[in-house]
């Protein structure tokens, strides 16, 4: 049972201070003002959390060319195995984590898992063998698993479906910042070689892990749980956001029940979106894990390769936010998956066909510009395709969790330098698959919406009857899919 201080989201709708359960007139300007206020208090903070998360999982790519491969004797496929083992516990733990997030306050669950992976990352600096690095990466994947699906679900508790793509884009753009920032950090930290008996690459793990732990402790005091418990919102503002969310959910269930978990698990759309997500995520992880190596094999020194990873991530960040904004503005998803996928394919075609270092590097930049925006749009699409809080949380965990198994593929497709035909060719094929699935979802969701509209018209169903369908989730005749 929720306490008065931390009510369930269902309580939010009816017991907002000053609300009395009655609807109020809200102007567009008031909506925008409240959304801007929430943006200011939520987005910078959660973006820092994800920046640290992505930095900690991807810094192994920087450590590799900083000497880890030589010092830890990572011959053959050992580095690829290190990159891959992270994703197995990471994928398997995401659904349980999102269920726990619903049962436990976000401001307690998310900082706690941050401390756990920060400790793993810090202690990873003591690993200097392949076996010890494997163990550390397994525990890192387990402890990091809850952050990305958790925060994506958390955002859906604050924003309407039509507002969430831009916010996820801003949040996810922290991954591109992490890629750029990681290169700068690695370049500087490498010069700590020998201090305290540690190699420069070990200091990369140590210092970045300590930074995560510090931010996690701060998070306990500054992270807000729900709109009704947010101290930065006035009573009237809480009423505005509660009414916006109530309108958006169509009165669907907000409480926990295992039947909502099964609804998500048995919905074929969950797995279509999951494969689409995987097709775009494999290139994202490939860029994070192998971009320093790819640039290094183009003829640039290891130090310059660290620095040259910055531009692809920087432009990827800008593109992610821009596409998220336009997608929300038009309230469309499919076309904003297809377009960026085509752009990214052009980049990979350049990489696979060109031998000149400058041209191939330009291809890497184009590939990053295209693929990074797709992640935020697909996740916004996933959230808008699931009705009800628990079903939405589990669906997001399915898509993100199983989709992250694609990281195993990312770890083993970049083997033969310098052209990496297998890697680039595989990614071109996966992007084509994502485009095909996006077209299918647009067609299928449009078909389902027309069937629901016809059913409502035939049986005289309107919003006044929403209470009859509270437990039906996406199957409610009043629920509409975003295209």
Asked if 237 and 104 touch (Cβ cutoff 8 Å), the reply is no
Asked if 390 and 102 touch (Cβ cutoff 8 Å), the reply is yes
Structural tokens at position 94: 């995401």
Residue 66: the pLDDT is 86
What would the DSSP string read from start to end of 236-263?
A: HHHHHHHHHHHHHHTT---S--HHHHHH
Residue 71: the pLDDT is 92
Residue 461: the pLDDT is 85
Residue 248: the pLDDT is 74
Select from 130, 129, 148 the least CA-distant residue to 57: 148
The list of the chain residues with pLDDT below 70 reads 1-23, 249-256, 289, 301-303, 306
pLDDT tens digits for range 324-343: 999 999 999 999 999 999 99
Asked if 388 and 70 touch (Cβ cutoff 8 Å), the reply is no
228: which DSSP letter?
G
Select from 204, 56, 212 the least CA-distant residue to 137: 56
pLDDT tens digits for range 289-300: 677 777 777 777
Asked if 169 and 376 touch (Cβ cutoff 8 Å), the reply is yes
Q: Respond yes or no on whether the N-terminal peptide bond of residue 418 is cis (omega within 30° of 0).
A: yes
Select from 222, 224, 240 the least CA-distant residue to 12: 240
Residue 474: the pLDDT is 81
Residue 174: the pLDDT is 79
Strand, coil or helix: 477 = coil
Domains detected in the chain: 27-245 (1.20.1250.20), 257-482 (1.20.1250.20)
Residue 5: the pLDDT is 39
């Amino acid at each position: 049972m929720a306490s008065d201080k931390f009510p369930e989201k269902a309580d939010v709708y009816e017991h907002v201070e000053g609300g009395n359960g009655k609807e109020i007139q809200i102007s567009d300007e008031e909506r925008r003002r409240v959304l801007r206020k929430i943006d200011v208090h939520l987005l910078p903070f959660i973006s820092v959390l994800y920046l640290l998360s992505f930095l900690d999982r991807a810094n192994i790519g920087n450590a590799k060319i900083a000497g880890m491969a030589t010092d830890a004797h990572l011959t053959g496929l050992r580095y690829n195995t290190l990159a891959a083992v992270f994703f197995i516990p990471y994928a398997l733990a995401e659904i349980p984590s999102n269920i726990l997030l619903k049962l436990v306050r976000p401001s307690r669950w998310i900082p706690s898992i941050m401390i756990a992976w920060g400790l793993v990352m810090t202690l990873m600096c003591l690993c200097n063998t392949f076996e010890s690095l494997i163990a550390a990466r397994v525990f890192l994947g387990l402890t990091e698993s809850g952050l990305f699906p958790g925060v994506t679900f958390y955002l859906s508790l604050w924003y309407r479906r039509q507002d969430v793509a831009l916010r996820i884009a801003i949040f996810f753009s922290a991954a591109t910042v992490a890629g750029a920032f990681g290169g700068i950090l690695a370049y500087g930290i490498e010069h700590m070689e020998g201090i305290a008996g540690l190699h420069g690459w070990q200091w990369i793990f140590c210092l970045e892990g300590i930074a995560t732990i510090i931010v996690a402790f701060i998070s306990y005091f500054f992270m807000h749980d729900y709109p009704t418990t947010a101290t930065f919102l006035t009573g009237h503002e809480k009423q505005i956001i509660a009414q916006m969310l109530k309108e958006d959910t169509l009165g669907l269930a907000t409480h926990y029940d295992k039947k909502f978990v099964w609804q998500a698990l048995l919905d074929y759309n969950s797995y279509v979106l999951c494969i689409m997500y995987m097709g775009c995520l494999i290139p994202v992880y490939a860029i994070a894990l192998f971009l320093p190596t790819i640039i290094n094999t183009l003829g640039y020194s290891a130090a310059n390769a660290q620095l040259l990873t910055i531009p692809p991530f920087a432009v990827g960040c800008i593109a992610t936010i821009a596409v998220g904004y336009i997608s929300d503005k038009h309230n469309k998803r499919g076309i904003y998956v297809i377009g960026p996928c085509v752009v990214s394919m052009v980049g990979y075609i350049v990489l696979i066909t060109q031998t000149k270092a400058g041209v191939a590097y330009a291809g890497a930049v184009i590939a990053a510009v295209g693929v990074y925006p797709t992640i935020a749009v697909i996740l916004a699409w996933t959230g808008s395709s699931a009705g009800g809080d628990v079903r939405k949380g589990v669906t997001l965990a399915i898509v993100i969790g199983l989709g992250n198994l694609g990281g195993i593929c990312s770890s083993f497709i970049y083997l033969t330098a310098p052209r990496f035909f297998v890697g680039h060719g595989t990614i071109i094929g996966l992007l084509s698959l994502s485009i095909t699935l996006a077209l299918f979802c647009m067609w299928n969701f449009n078909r389902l919406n027309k069937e629901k509209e016809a059913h409502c018209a035939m049986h005289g169903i309107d919003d006044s009857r929403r209470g009859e369908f509270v437990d039906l989730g996406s199957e409610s005749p009043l629920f509409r899919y975003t295209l």
